[in-house]
Structure 1
Amino acid sequence: MRIRTYFRHMSIAKRYIAYRRRAINRHGVHSPFVYDLIENVFRKKHWENKVAIKCLRKELRKDYTGIEVDDLGAGSRVNNNRQIKVSKILKVSTTPLHKSAMLQRLVDFMNYKSILELGTNLGVTTSVLASAKAKPKLVSIEGAPELADLAVKNLEKLNLKAEIMVGSFEDTLDLALGQFEKLDMAYIDGNHRRDATLAYFDAIKEKMHNDSVLIIGDIHWSDGMEEAWELVKAKPEVRVTIDLFDMGLVFFRKEMTPEHYTIYYS
Structure 2
Amino acid sequence: MYIASLIMYNAFQLGFKYLQYYITASNGKGHGVHSPFVFDFIINVLNSKGTYYCFNEIEQVRKAYLINSEVIEVEDFGAGSRTGATKKRVIKNIARSALKPRKYSQLLFKIATYYKPKTILELGTSLGITTSYLSNSNKESKIITLEGSENIASVAANTFKQLGLKNITQITGNFDETLSSALKQSGVTDFAYVDGNHRYEPTVRYYREILPFITEESILIFDDIHWSKEMEQAWEEIKNHEAVTMSIDLFFIGLVFFKKDFKVKQHFTIRY
User: Displacement, 1:15?
Assistant: 1.5
Sequence identity percentage: 38
Classify the secondary structure of the residue corresponding to 2:21: helix
Q: RMSD over aligned Cα, in angstroms?
A: 1.7
Measure the CA separation in 2 of the matches of 1:224 and 1:168.
Answer: 20
Does 1:89 find its partner at 2:94? yes
1:17 is aligned, of 3, 16, 19, to 19
Measure the CA separation in 2 of the matches of 1:208 and 1:6.
Answer: 30
Classify the secondary structure of the residue corresponding to 1:38: helix
Give the letter for the 2:205 counterpart: A
1:39 is aligned, of 34, 40, 43, to 43
Residues 38-86 of structure 1: CA deviation (Å, up to 9, x unaligned)? 1111111323411211111121111011112233621432434321211
TM-score (norm 1): 0.94
Kindly indicate whether the alpha-carbon contact (under 8 Å) linking 1:72 and 1:143 is maintained by their aligned counterparts in 2: yes
**Number of matched pairs:** 262
Kindly indicate whether the alpha-carbon contact (under 8 Å) linking 1:211 and 1:253 is maintained by their aligned counterparts in 2: yes
1:255 is aligned, of 242, 254, 261, to 261
Residues 230-259 of structure 1: CA deviation (Å, up to 9, x unaligned)? 111211110111111111000011111211
Measure the CA separation in 1 of the matches of 2:120 and 2:82.
Answer: 24
Gapped runs of 5+ residues in structure 2? Answer: 1-5
Map 1:93-132 onto structure 2 (within 5 A).
Answer: 93-132=98-137
Map 1:1-266 onto structure 2 (within 5 A).
Answer: 8-24=10-26, 25=28, 26-46=30-50, 47-71=52-76, 73-133=78-138, 135-161=140-166, 162-256=168-262, 257-265=264-272
Measure the CA separation in 2 of the matches of 1:217 and 1:236.
Answer: 21
TM-score (norm 2): 0.92
User: For structure 1, which segment, 90-99 or 110-119, has the greater mean C-alpha deviation from structure 2 after superposition?
Assistant: 90-99
Kindly indicate whether the alpha-carbon contact (under 8 Å) linking 1:139 and 1:176 is maintained by their aligned counterparts in 2: yes
Measure the CA separation in 2 of the matches of 1:212 and 1:14.
Answer: 32
User: Displacement, 1:22?
Assistant: 2.0
Higher RCO by CA contacts (8 Å cutoff, separation 6 or greater): 2
Residues 193-214 of structure 1: CA deviation (Å, up to 9, x unaligned)? 0011000000101111011100
Measure the CA separation in 1 of the matches of 2:18 and 2:24.
Answer: 10
Classify the secondary structure of the residue corresponding to 1:27: coil
Classify the secondary structure of the residue corresponding to 2:186: coil
User: Displacement, 1:134?
Assistant: 5.6
Kindly indicate whether the alpha-carbon contact (under 8 Å) linking 1:67 and 1:86 is maintained by their aligned counterparts in 2: yes
Measure the CA separation in 1 of the matches of 2:218 and 2:43.
Answer: 19
Kindly indicate whether the alpha-carbon contact (under 8 Å) linking 2:8 and 2:227 is maintained by their aligned counterparts in 1: no
Gapped runs of 5+ residues in structure 1? Answer: none
Kindly indicate whether the alpha-carbon contact (under 8 Å) linking 1:48 and 1:133 is maintained by their aligned counterparts in 2: no
Change (3 A) 1:173 1:227: same
Change (3 A) 1:45 1:77: farther
User: Displacement, 1:35?
Assistant: 0.9
Give the letter for the 1:236 counterpart: E
Give the letter for the 1:66 counterpart: V
